[in-house]
Amino acid sequence: MFEIKIKDFLGRIGVLDTPHGKIETPALLPVINPNRLLLPVSRMKEIGAEALITNAYIIYRTPHLRERAVDVGIHRLLGFDAPVMTDSGSYQLSVYGDIEVENEDIVQFQIEVGSDIIVPKDIPTPPFSPRDRAEKELMTTVRNVSEAWEMLAGLSNRPLLASPIQGSTYPDLREKCARMLRGMGDIFPIGAVVPLLENYRFKQIAEIILHSKMGTSTCTPIHLFGAGHPMILSFAVAFGCDLFDSAAYALFAKENRYLSPHGTYDLSSMEYLPCACPICSTHTAKELRESDERERLLAEHNLHTAFSEIRLIKESIREGTLIELVQQRCRAHPRLLDALKIALSHTDIIDELSPQRRSSPFYSGPESALMPEVRRHQKRLERLEVGKNCIIFTTHPASTHPELSLKDFDSVFILRAPFGPFPPELAETLPVNTVHVSGDLEAKHKALEGVVYLVKNNPDTLFTLVLDREWLDIAKQRLNGLDNVEVWGEENG
């Protein structure tokens, strides 16, 4: 049902089978309001939509839409012959506190209208709610998922079930919910994150994604509900999300906001359009502002931007450079960069799920020192035989200390940030052949962690370190108290 084709970091390109065809992930599903179609569905498909999502509750509560949906099906109602996902009304529940439909009824309605991906009635507990409320509503969601799963059992060519992971901003509750839902669903959406996205609470989003991933099977697709801004997409994909839905393309257009992978612009103050989509390449900022079709045109640009970012993410996964794209995107907002550092600190899940790199890592900033390739390299140091005396250098000692001959040492290592020490024979191999920044303090500290690790694992070995001046002060701090280390700088000592 879900086949993973290519993996990079925690991101993957996959294929999801549905009754109305395949969806290649990562995928963005534009939200369709059948009462107000800002863009023709046919145009959305041309721009890149492989699937759509619409609100089953709105259709259910609107008599003429409900009658037609039951009569001709959801696909003919929308004029879309590819996969359609239907939501049960959780957005209305989050806004109004209640919806006038039972779980069994809304699930049965979604089955009747031929939805490809069904969502049961879940309870979107707001961020930072009391823990007891989050636990209680989580259990309600799990019961509703279980009921929906039983309703789908035995159906021929059955729709997929999207089983929402709830738990507010409590990471352990998200993980608990995900574990309880195992075996009851085909897709696992992470719900109730839109308020966090709107308030740039990216650190909380990172924690929620990773703890939800910890509770799910590694081969199941993860959907991040309500995330459609191109700025967040690469980050979410890199940490394990496969599907996205959003009405942002339309909502932002209504508010005169212009989406880009680097953030959001106010069209009213723009002089130039920094995009080459069909809208931006045929309009100036002034023409777009003054157009009678401004909202539709801006919505189309916003959708182009989101799908362009999805395609770039896929190509980055294929090339093995997804995390470098994430590092670029995270520099668009300081809170997003902080979230990246928080996410990278979850070494347990990252080391377990991320594959070996297929390309040379590119050192893009201090957070690159936190990458799994660095930890894996330093872990290998425990298997190295170093003998009775070992030399580690940043610059070959022949140029600064001719009295030191490499032949006098049992083992020789090069020191390179952020990886640490490695034998010269590996200098042109992955991952140590990275492009690195010599002056980055975080990278040097990480490299010296590897030295400390090697020294402590070999207490009977005498280590001689020959270091450039820029390494000396840091090295003396990190190696202080280690009696079997002698540090040489530009002058002995």
Catalytic residues: 87
Q: Bridge partners of 24?
A: 15
Cα 358 versus chain centre, distance: 19
- Dist CA 255 CA 261 (whole Å): 18
Q: Bridge partners of 265?
A: 258
484 residue type, one letter: N
State the pairing for strand pair 188-190/222-224.
parallel
Hey, how many other C-beta atoms are within 10 angstroms of the C-beta on 260?
18
Does residue 60 contact residue 100 with C-beta atoms inside 8 Å? no
For residue 253, which of 49, 29, 36, 28 has the smallest C-alpha distance? 36
Alpha carbon distances (Å) from 456 to 83, 450, 474: 57, 10, 18
Alpha carbon distances (Å) from 107 to 186, 268, 275: 15, 43, 41
Tokens of 215: 């509770």
CA 314, 190, 176, 168 dihedral sign is positive
Verify cis geometry, omega within 30 degrees of 0, for the bond prior to 431: yes
Cα 11 versus chain centre, distance: 7
Hey, how many other C-beta atoms are within 10 angstroms of the C-beta on 319?
14
Alpha carbon distances (Å) from 111 to 11, 69, 210, 396: 31, 11, 31, 70
User: Tokens 């609470």 sit at which residue?
Assistant: 201
| Phi and psi angles of residue 22, each rounded to the nearest 5 degrees, phi first | -95, 150
Hey, how many other C-beta atoms are within 10 angstroms of the C-beta on 218?
12
| Helices within 246-321 (DSSP H only) | 248-254, 285-290, 294-319
Residues 6+ apart with CB under 8 A from 27: 16, 50, 51, 242, 243, 244, 310
For residue 413, which of 379, 441, 384 has the smallest C-alpha distance? 384
Largest CA distance in the chain: 91
The half-sphere exposure of 1 on its side-chain side, counting CA atoms within 13 A, is 15
